[in-house]
Structure 1
Amino acid sequence: MSSPSVPEKTRRELRRVAAATVIGTTIEWYDFFVYASAAGLVFGRLFFEPMGPQAATIIAFATVGVSFLFRPLGAFIAGHFGDKIGRKAMLVITLLLMGAATTLIGILPTYEQVGILAPVLLTLLRILQGLSTGGEWGGAVLMAVEHAPSHRRGRYGAFPQIGVPIGLLLASGVLALMTGVISPGEAFLEWGWRVPFLLSVVLIAVGIIVRRAVSESPVFSEISERKEQSSMPVVQLFRRHSLLVLLAALTFAGNNAAGYLTTGGFIQNYATTPEAEGGLVGMERTPVLLAVTGASIVWLIFTFLAGVISDRIGRKNTYIIGWISFLAVVFVLFPLVNTGNAWFLLLGLSLFSIGNGLTYGQQAAYFSELFPASIRYSGVSITYAIGAILGGAFAPMISTALVAATGTALSVALYIGGVMVIAFTATLLLCDRTGVPLGASYEVEQTRGHFVWQRHSVESTG
């Protein structure tokens, strides 16, 4: 059966929206991942050194997690105004906030220079990054999905999703360039780590120009014309959809916890810590960063494929394939890393990235189809933020502590595998809502039939 044709004018607008969402999300997550990678590579020594090598690393990873605690606040604020004044305005604001915080990190003094003030300022700027990330994702995915025709929501919703692995690709690539070519060894600790943060200024300028060129979401325009914006979207969300928010957040938690093994800096730290400092592998920084960069390409490919495939077989079936892929390799990853061979590290991370993509690419369309139009920005943003806290917020810190306590990465594999099983179960409890109408006139249909155990009663009532 052929898919409905899309007029040329609409296709041009869809291309502009796809470009704007993928570029903006790439920049947002480049900033986020540069911090996470630097936390694993240098922040322990530069900002928390008096704590000792192992404790300093754990605390550096804790600052990665602290930003997640502020994601819900960013999601609440951006969701509230995104449902009231529009998706587009919030996208520009969140991008500016992230860029400013990242650039300022690049000029921060270290502990050696200003003492305790250095980690305090670092943590405050990381909090600003968390506020920005909490609001940015929801706006980007809604711009992509609400512009898209119903039979291609997965495809177009995958564009902001692939911005995440592209951001990791850029962050790891720039850091590998700095550690391997421009500022190897002690030069990276002295000044090289600052350059990736300062580059954010250029990227932000490009992102804002592109994002301002796209039109507002047609769904929000319809809500505005009908004057149906919710006065308190967050209150309405939790009053009517709290169980849905929790289950959907759990589906993301599994992906996020697993993904932050690589994107949160844990693998970078685990693979590069020398034996003299309690490490188990002791590889050089540059080959590890190059392996992460290569694996991020695999993540990118399978993220986009997941969006496309979900338009054909449904969001839920695509998730199930992804969870099976994840669980099949979670206990293979660390034996490959422990070889100390860069090619085996690349192989392990690439296999892991297949499941990462297949449980992420369809998420934009999946979350958008769960919530009514008038509270959708709040719904997708807050669900995403809660899932990030439950999943990836402290995954690098927990993983580092587990290795320190047990002396083996098997404990990390068991921890991540357990979170995946919970996410898999939550996925099974939710119904597939692929293709459900997204417009404001379909609010009633979008408040029913979310859960497997309700399916019979909803179908019987028509």
Structure 2
Amino acid sequence: MSAPDSPSAPPAPSAPGGRLKTALASAAGTCVENYDFVAYGTASALYFGDAFFPESDPLVGTLLAFATLGVGFLMRPVGGALGGYLGDRHGRKPVLVGALLVMGVATVLIGLLPTYAQIGAAAPVLLVIIRCVQGLAFGAEWGGAVMMTFEHAPRRRRGLYAAIPQAGNPLGIALANIAFLLSASIDGDLAWRLPFLASSLLIVVGLVVRMKLSESPEFEAAKAEGDTVHNPLLTVLRDDWRNILRIIALRVVESCAYYLTATYLLSYITDRNEDDRGVALAGVVIASLLAVGTTVLSGALTDRVGRRTVYLAGCLLAVAFGIPMYVMANTGAAIPIVLTFLIAIGVIHAALTGTQAAWFAELFRTGTRTSGASLGYQTAASVAGFAPFVAVLLADSFDWWGPAGLYVAVSAVGLVGVLTTRETWGPAERAATPAEPATPGAAASPQRGEAVPSSSGDRR
């Protein structure tokens, strides 16, 4: 078993400018990763059924398109395990750079991929292979980005700082959908190819910014003291598997609810009326831009009222909104459709994502933090990737009540996660954590609420 974090030699805090720089750089890369990954979901909902499965009937074509979407999600736990292992063993920064590079290459290749009409059955096969590579890269990226920011942040404001990379998620989503909105009027395959090819510009920016980051001070301190874990993946599975299961439950509501909205509901609205495609896409874009601010505000709020309180409010709102969202979407009117996305993505999803980073990180010690949080986070994502597929099947049998019920069900799973996961940041932790030193570089006192005690002997 690994040695616990040493309380006698805490890492020196980053300078204030360095903290913000790290948070923004992590957010920039997360934005690019989400642009690339979500662009596939949007293309699956709007184009891939015809481009890669043209001989199928419309229902089967949509199912196959969403199935290839889900394949990428299946690879995310593998990427999370690999990225977590490398991040806990060799540092957060190399994982950040490598994951972004791999994701960028895969996304550009999708933009260049021949269709079924050009090369036949080889087209969907190649699509699935590239999608798997995307899943690996995306799974590896999140843990490094969030833990790098969390470990650079001032201890009293880790909720706020850790939420900044999470805000890159909706920003990337917004940019991806803006790209599809701009290309919607283009005839032929360029309508979906251009958004993938355009990501190459974002990738260059993200790589340049991330290459300039310094390594996590907590990881460097653990490495210097010999407190890194030889096999962090096996260690966290053995000692902290309960926290991994809790993260899966907490993450399922956020991830499934998002894809049931931004991917399935987008397809549902478009199928009902092709003319509503632009309105629905605009709704996703506006909601995603709203979510950037809501995510950061939610993270800041957790530093005041606790992580659990904010997450509980988000889950309760999700349970309550499952049926009304379809009632609003079924009106076919622009304002209710846009409002549906604003509530589901701009409020509910953002409140959950803004809380996750700090809460999940505080459930694990430094030596296994990236592995534990990444494995739980990405395992839940692998389930969420098939949510649109299941929603199509349910809608075929139960009309819109089926996907609405699925949305409520995954929200209920999130409630179970909240009720079974302890608070990691509240009045006791704030009172026990001294203020940040006035002089940059002065030693910081250890945070009593940073990690979780467990049967393995890990300390708080």
> What TM-score does the superposition give when structure 1 sets the normalisation length?
0.89
1:403–1:409 contact (8 Å) kept in structure 2: yes
Structure 1 Cα separation of the partners of residues 102 and 354 of structure 2: 25
**How do residues 406-445 of structure 1 correspond to structure 2 at under 5 angstroms?**
406=398, 408-434=399-425
| 1:49 Cα deviation after fit | 1.4
Q: Which residue of 2 aligns with 1:446?
A: 451
The farther-off stretch of 171-180 and 98-107 is: 171-180
**How do residues 55-74 of structure 1 correspond to structure 2 at under 5 angstroms?**
55-74=60-79
Residue identity opposite 2:104 in structure 1: G
1:176–1:285 contact (8 Å) kept in structure 2: no
2:14–2:152 contact (8 Å) kept in structure 1: no
Structure 2 Cα separation of the partners of residues 442 and 78 of structure 1: 26
Q: Which residue of 2 aligns with 1:384?
A: 377
* Cα distance change of structure 1 residues 322 and 65 upon mapping to structure 2, 3 Å threshold: same
Structure 1 stretches lacking a partner, 5+ long: 1-6, 274-279, 451-457
Structure 1 Cα separation of the partners of residues 191 and 340 of structure 2: 28
Mapped pair 1:271 → 2:269: yes
* Cα distance change of structure 1 residues 111 and 83 upon mapping to structure 2, 3 Å threshold: same
1:272–1:282 contact (8 Å) kept in structure 2: yes
* Cα distance change of structure 1 residues 379 and 64 upon mapping to structure 2, 3 Å threshold: same
Mapped pair 1:320 → 2:325: no
> What TM-score does the superposition give when structure 2 sets the normalisation length?
0.89
| 1:402 Cα deviation after fit | 1.1
| 1:27 Cα deviation after fit | 0.3
Residue identity opposite 1:123 in structure 2: V
1:74–1:135 contact (8 Å) kept in structure 2: yes
Q: Secondary structure at the match of 2:85?
A: helix
The farther-off stretch of 54-63 and 317-326 is: 317-326
1:19 alignment partner, one of 13, 17, 24? 24
Residue identity opposite 2:313 in structure 1: I
Q: Which residue of 2 aligns with 1:276?
A: none
2:36–2:103 contact (8 Å) kept in structure 1: yes
2:359–2:424 contact (8 Å) kept in structure 1: yes
Size of the alignment, in residue pairs? 431
1:47–1:119 contact (8 Å) kept in structure 2: yes
* Cα distance change of structure 1 residues 243 and 394 upon mapping to structure 2, 3 Å threshold: same
Structure 1 Cα separation of the partners of residues 415 and 136 of structure 2: 28
Mapped pair 1:303 → 2:295: yes
Q: Which residue of 1 aligns with 2:35?
A: 30
Q: Which residue of 1 aligns with 2:254?
A: 255
| 1:48 Cα deviation after fit | 0.9
CA-based RMSD of the aligned residues comes to: 2.3
1:152–1:308 contact (8 Å) kept in structure 2: yes
Structure 2 Cα separation of the partners of residues 192 and 69 of structure 1: 27
Q: Extract structure 1 runs of 4+ deviating beyond 6 A.
A: 439-445
**How do residues 165-204 of structure 1 correspond to structure 2 at under 5 angstroms?**
165-180=170-185, 183=186, 187=187, 189-204=188-203
**How do residues 309-348 of structure 1 correspond to structure 2 at under 5 angstroms?**
309-348=301-340
* Cα distance change of structure 1 residues 443 and 375 upon mapping to structure 2, 3 Å threshold: farther
Structure 2 stretches lacking a partner, 5+ long: 1-11, 434-443
2:66–2:389 contact (8 Å) kept in structure 1: yes
Q: Which residue of 2 aligns with 1:355?
A: 348
Structure 1 Cα separation of the partners of residues 14 and 119 of structure 2: 56
1:67–1:128 contact (8 Å) kept in structure 2: yes
| 1:295 Cα deviation after fit | 1.4
| 1:152 Cα deviation after fit | 0.6
Mapped pair 1:221 → 2:220: yes
Residue identity opposite 2:229 in structure 1: S
2:424–2:449 contact (8 Å) kept in structure 1: no
